[in-house]
Structure 1
Amino acid sequence: MRLTRVTAPLVVAATVALGLGACSSVAPTPLPKAAPSASVTAGKAPTAQSCTNAVQSYAPDGALPAPSGIPSASTMGKIKARGRLIAGVSADTRLLGSRNPLLGRIEGFDIDLVQQIADAILGPNAKVELRVITAADRLPVLQNHQVDVVVRNMTITCDRWKTIAFSAEYYRAGQKILIRKGSTITGLASLAGKRVCAPTGTSSLDNLVRLAPKAIAVPATTHTECLVNLQQGKVEAITGDDTVLAGLASQDPYAVVLSEKAFTAEPYGVGIAADQVDLVKFVNTVLENDRTSGDWTTSYNTWLAPELGKGTGQPAPSYGRPTP
């Protein structure tokens, strides 16, 4: 399962809108609700659990099975029978998940992980259906079983654990601020009275309101819309994860990410429906394999290292969440 390609191939039946405007949600055909895994009582949603450690996930059951050894009744078996993995992703978050205008396909760090999960279930160069969603769509598409996974720079939080499940942390980002060169904004403390953009449905917007209550929060559909607002002078700054802001800055020579230390920790996880614990455990095994095979490092070096530097490597997993 070693990642030898620069971008993830074989994006089939991608339900996306063409062009830079592909950030808007495309309403996919709802999937039939998958049968719960063996670890979940049939017909019942998992019981809500107290959350004191958001990044704690379900421990893998063992070594990663070969695709031929996946039980047909499992969530992975149903994906295998369908013949493709369906993933909710971004198409305009450069470096993580964005459309390559020359090749016409979505690529990036998050997309590599989608392909790795698909390959583990279906075999090498597995078919993947990428459904472009907004940040606000991430929870509903999982709750409605419209996708198998969401890999869209989603921060793991206790509040989100109330409605969906997460894999172990696969990347640790941090929230920062992007400005136009020459701006008087120097950091979080100087945002009072400034119009600051962040996408609806993100922890970035929540953190802005909480940490800079005197700033004027300007919601947008996506960070790309925020960048357009900044370029048109409608806002004076954008806030978001350093990974996302680095992608925006790489597209605009007049935009710069402030060098102050990140003011939040943003652990990314793969979002999965709450009643598909077997798939969560499977994805965690894929992440364990990525660590030993070097696939995570290869993908990081391809996409994020040129903008963010060497980094601290793949986060260590935290297990121990009791199976519902």
Structure 2
Amino acid sequence: MNTRSAAMLVAILAAGCGSVPAPPPMVSVAPVTVAPQEAHDVTAAPPAAAEQCDREASLSPGPLPPAGAMPAGSTMAAIARRGRLVVGVDQNTYRIGFRDPATGRIEGFDIDVAREIARAIFGDPDRIDLRVVDARDRETALVSGQVDLVVRTYSITCERKRSVDFSTVYFVANQRILVPRGTRIDTAEDLSGKRVCAATGTTSLANLLAMNPRPVVIGVTAWTDCLVMLQQNQIDAISTDDAVLAGLAEQDPTVEIAGPSLGVEPYGVGVGKRHEDLVRFVNGVLENMRRDGTWNRLYDRWLSALGPSPGPPAARYEGS
């Protein structure tokens, strides 16, 4: 390389080192609020039951047969031949029916109640097939025969008893309100005009729509969708059973359960019509759970965030 070429190269390099690249063009993107799938405004209340009933009364149990020896011709014998009890459950409600991310197993209070019924049939609580069903599909799952039972925070109502049968009450919940800490929302009156979330197909949603004045009701598929919307300031409150709200509050320390009970919600095990023997069998299992301490043990394991055990709800049988 001659002297002239070297000088030109130095000049080019010097010019490159001193240059400043042009900034990239500005890009402006407007923020988008993304709601959970199927979240929607609910304006129409479900039809009320045409007749009143004793919603908590169920068929009295007979003596329980030994596990593995179900009476010939019974619904339980048919389940035993199949080899598994099929139960409709939830997988999104912490402490009640939820999928443990560490194990992949569905666990919770309702799940253990279902497992006790499987234990009574087979002598093995693991002889169970858990089918995840949305709250709005519980009756459909039973009527169509997709499941033998539904154990899924299933409040007993007269309207529902027209389509399916129920066991005695195995848990009594109270509808309350979940709000961000420090929010002054405590009563039904405070919800007036507020955006309140509830799961479609639940009595909680129906109770909100019955309020006067009425809140702005948002329906979703799962209670965790409500929590996401609350965290994103898309709603002002969630209202449902305290057992469900306690699980949501454990997942987010910035929220709290507020106010008194807005209504009592008795949970029962759902059973398809024309299976009275299975209703009586389930009631026998629940009776044993009350007497032998199993119910209290399950409460202490899963629901102690609600406070000390109130003890199992007393059974009420038809005609008694």
Separation in 1, partners of 2:196, 2:137: 22
Q: Which residue of 1 aligns with 2:101?
A: 101
The correspondence for 1:317, drawn from 312, 315, 318, is: 315
SS of aligned partner of 1:264? strand
TM-score by length of 2: 0.82
Cα distance between partner residues in 2 of 1:147 and 1:51: 27
Q: Which has the higher strand share?
A: 2
Q: Does 1:225 align with 2:225?
A: yes
Name the structure 1 match of 2:56: 55
**How far, CA to CA, are the matches of 1:127 and 1:282 in structure 2?**
17
Gaps of 5+ in 2: 1-35, 37-49
Aligned equivalents of 1:78, 1:169: Cα separation in 2: 25
Corresponding position: 1:282 with 2:284: no
- Contact kept, 8 Å, 1:191 with 1:212, in 2: the verdict is no
Task: Judge conservation of contact 1:175–1:265 (CA < 8 Å) in 2.
Answer: yes
3-state DSSP of counterpart to 1:187: coil
Q: Deviations over 1:6-65 (max 9, x none)?
A: xxxxxxxxxxxxxxx9xxxxxxxxxxxxxxxxxxxxxxxxxxx9652100000112x211
Q: CA deviation at 1:240?
A: 0.3
- Taking only the aligned residue pairs, the percentage that are identical comes to 45
**What does residue range 100-249 of structure 1 map to in structure 2 within 5 Å?**
100-249=100-249
Paired AA for residue 165 in structure 2: A
Q: CA deviation at 1:228?
A: 0.8
- 1:65 maps to which residue? 65
Distance 1:98 1:125 in 2: 18
Residues 142-177 of structure 1 show CA distances to partners (whole Å, capped at 9, x for unaligned) of 010100100000100111000000000000001000
Partner-residue secondary structure (3-state), 1:131? strand
Deviation at 1:68, TM superposition (A): 3.5
- Per the TM alignment, residue 321 of structure 1 is displaced from its structure 2 partner at its CA by 5.9
The alpha carbon displacement at 1:187 in A equals 2.0
Q: What is the root-mean-square deviation in Å for CA atoms of aligned residues?
A: 1.9
CA-to-partner distance for each residue in 1:56-92, whole Å, 9 max, x for gaps? 000112x211024312311100100000011000001
Contact kept, 8 Å, 1:178 with 1:257, in 2: the verdict is yes
User: Partners of 1:106 and 1:174 in 2: how far apart?
Assistant: 24
Specify every segment of 5 or more residues in structure 1 that has no aligned partner in the other structure, as ranges: 1-20, 22-48
Aligned with 2:88: secondary structure?
A: strand
- 1:89/1:133 contact within 8 Å kept: yes
- How is 1:6-21 mapped onto 2 (pairs within 5 angstroms)? none
Name the SS for the 1:67 alignment partner. coil
Give the corresponding residue for 1:293: 292
Q: CA shift at 1:212, angstroms?
A: 4.5
SS at match of 1:168: strand
How far apart, in 1, do the equivalents of 2:172 and 2:107 lie? 20
CA contact (8 A) 2:199 2:205 kept: yes
Structure 1 residue ranges (4+ consecutive) displaced by more than 4 angstroms after TM superposition: none
Residues 296 and 309, structure 2, Cα contact 8 Å, conserved in 1: no
C-alpha distance in 1 between matches for 2:167 and 2:214:
35
How much has 1:185 moved relative to structure 2?
1.8
Report how many residues are paired.
274
Partner of 1:13: none
